[in-house]
Amino acid sequence: MEMYKRWLQFDEDTKNELLGLDEKEIMERFYKELEFGTGGLRGIIGAGTNRMNVYTVRKATQGLANYILKQKVKDPSVAIAYDSRLYSDIFATEAALVLNANGIKTFIYKELRPTPMLSFAVRYLKTTAGIVITASHNPKEYNGYKVYWSDGGQITEAHAEGILNEIKNVDYSEIKTVDLERAKESGLFKLIDDEVETAYINLVKGLTVNKDVVNNVKDSLKVIYTPLHGTGNKPVRRVLAELGYKNVYVVKEQENPDPNFSTVKYPNPEEHEVFTRAIEMAKEMEADLIIGTDPDCDRVGVVVKNKEGEYIVLTGNQTGALLTHYILENLKATGKMPENGVVIKTIVTTEMARRIAEDYNVEIMDVLTGFKYIGERIKEFEEKKDKTFVFGFEESYGYLAGDFVRDKDAVIASMLICEMAGFYKLKGMSLYEGLLSLYERYGYFKEDLKSVTLEGIEGSQRIKEIMDMLRNNPPKEIAGVKAVVVKDYKESVERDLRDGKEEKINLPKSNVIQVILEDESIITARPSGTEPKIKFYFAVRGENLKDSEKKLNKVKEEFLGMFSI
């Protein structure tokens, strides 16, 4: 209540918003600070310490500025990008002005741009850090603030902890800021020029795996594209146009930036409903492929035609498996396969990728959930020069090829998906038929995700109870199949339930529990670090599609029933 009363003095708009709140809402907005995790900030837009607003953005930025200055870097600088969400442009400018007031130069995009282009700008401009204002695919009520370091990757634990400590020590009265005109006059506030974007686009086009495929299908492949009111519209269409694709059609109703995301409930390509209009267009035009990118254009969803002629949305795992196979197959065919190539996936991503990589004698590596860990590995490969990054992906629709970006990139992925669709088209196959051929070759892998929202103080406690139960008293069997291994990533221990033997997990600590069954089914529980959610991942392998579907449903139903979810 003391903090609430203090916020009433900040400005008239904030005061008027706060005076209209009941006691419960005041508690929700002020019972804690908006948490700065390894992904930065993410929260509902509004006044209060537990909300996204100008003041929490300034406080986070002052903490970041203090941290940067303590690194004793010569001529420190920060690149900044923002998406189409409410106040994204304002938060981006406010962050820049706090940095400028602390003597740190900023480079900010002239208009909204994808998150991966921020990662690229950090590397290209050789800045100390980067900020992107986005809440990715969250509902319209949210916004967020992600921090990147000089390698272009999202900050990992060491930097996050240091920045968090600085933020905690910042009082709102200590935050420095400066007027925009003065910042420009001082030379500290700079706009990113077109040269940076053109350099990025040219490097993306250079990632074409098989130019013959592109040349043979660019006149015939029909693609429907939706940017879902976000940042992907210009860069995705520019790359495809410059490669010569003649038949790329945008969903007009979803083409322009819109902070209300007025045509969708959630601007998330994982939600099938976002493709309703695109599918109508595809049917009218007999399109080969639909692609849709999320608001900050780091994730992409794919829709293809099945054998019955219906358009179906692929899962992130299915698209990732298809891309893994396509890239490895064509690198091998064109003689470009590196001897020390590596495919990287997260611990909750399909095991089909492992089978595919092994088939091509390519190493596959698991990392924790979060693309920053893939970026971290790429940095290690670059420094040690012992391995070559080939491709990385996670089940939540994030993919990356090339090493000039260090985060998932839907511009790159959109280009590769179009090329891959062309590859199968030249064989007289749809992408769906390509997927079926992979199932026949590598096994019928099936995965699903159940995300449960548990908001507020009570929800936070419930999530803790679920994780404690799995950690201290894991199930002995699920759906009639014995549990044989439990992996506790928080304790860094893998325990064999049959003989009690333990092995160390050589990954950073994370609050994740995995239960592996005798038939190699995997169940993973993971609280979200940015949202009031706990996520349950399920993965099985069956004799055929029907068998794997049946097995998946049985495992899901019984496991979730243990928690009355």
Mean pLDDT in order along the chain per 10 residues (565 residues): 94 95 94 85 95 97 98 96 97 98 98 98 98 93 96 91 95 96 97 97 97 97 98 98 98 97 93 96 96 97 93 97 98 94 98 97 96 95 96 97 97 98 97 97 96 88 93 93 96 94 94 95 88 91 95 96 87
The whole-number pLDDT of residue 336 equals 94
Closest CA to 98 of 173, 183, 177, 174: 177
CA end-to-end span of the chain: 35
Work out whether the CA dihedral 87, 91, 97, 101 comes out positive or negative: positive
Would you state the pLDDT for residue 39?
A: 76
Query: Tokens in use for 93?
Result: 């400018």
Beta-bridge partner residues of 533:
453
Count of Cβ atoms closer than 10 Å to residue 280 Cβ = 13
Alpha carbon distance 132, 441 (integer Å) = 41
Cα–Cα distance list, 560 to 107, 315, 457 (Å): 47, 21, 22
Q: Identify the H or E element spanning 345.
A: strand 341-346
- Cα→Cα distances 315→226, 378, 445, 449, Å: 17, 25, 12, 10
**429, two tokens:** 């196959």
Provide the strand spans (E) within 207-279: 222-226, 247-250
The β-bridge relationship of strands 105-108 and 77-82 is parallel
C-alpha distances out from residue 197 to 194, 239, 483, Å? 5, 11, 50
pLDDT score for 530: 61
Whether the model clears a pTM of 0.85, i.e. scores above it, the answer is: yes
For residue 175 the two structure tokens come to 């935050």
CB 468 within 8 A of CB 490: no
Strands (E), 417-492: 444-453, 477-478, 481-488
| In contact, 137 and 269? CB cutoff 8 Å | yes
Give the C-alpha separation, 386 to 55, whole Å: 45
Q: Annotated active-site positions, please?
A: 136
Q: Which long-range contacts (CB under 8 A, 24 or more apart) does 434-439 make?
A: 434/322, 435/304, 435/314, 435/318, 435/321, 435/322, 438/321, 438/322, 438/325, 438/352, 438/356, 439/545
Domains and CATH numbers, the chain: 32-192 (3.40.120.10), 200-208+215-442 (3.40.120.10), 446-561 (3.30.310.50)
